[in-house]
Copies of this chain bind each other. A is one copy, B any other.
């Protein structure tokens, strides 16, 4: 059963973080069609967030067609998001992990690493900074 992790310092709304963690688990193959998501009350009991917040995240995922809520039973994965299969993510993930090790060895902290990625992603579009 997937377990959620909320970063309160990031400024990103918790309901968005939960939804995104589900999407990523689907892309990575950690979750698959038919799997059950933790019940709203389980997430609340884990002291992550309020019931309404979990509900909002699950509703977003339902609107995207990724999950399906059945009253009395739970919330289940209905489909996989568009994109490459899990194997592709695993392969790329290993390469990225190797790069992260280098970056950390060079003295970059997580914030510097994330900023570097953000710059890299925007780079080809336009000059982003300066």
Contacts and interface: CB of A to CB of B under 8 A. Distances in A.
A96 B129 CA distance: 17
A120 interface: yes
B99 A129 contact: no
A83 B96 contact: no
Interface residues of A, number: 52
A64 interface: no
A57 interface: no
Nearest to A81: B112
Interface of A: 1-3, 5, 10-13, 16, 20-21, 23-25, 27-28, 30-31, 83-84, 88-89, 92-93, 95-97, 99-100, 102-103, 106-123, 128-130
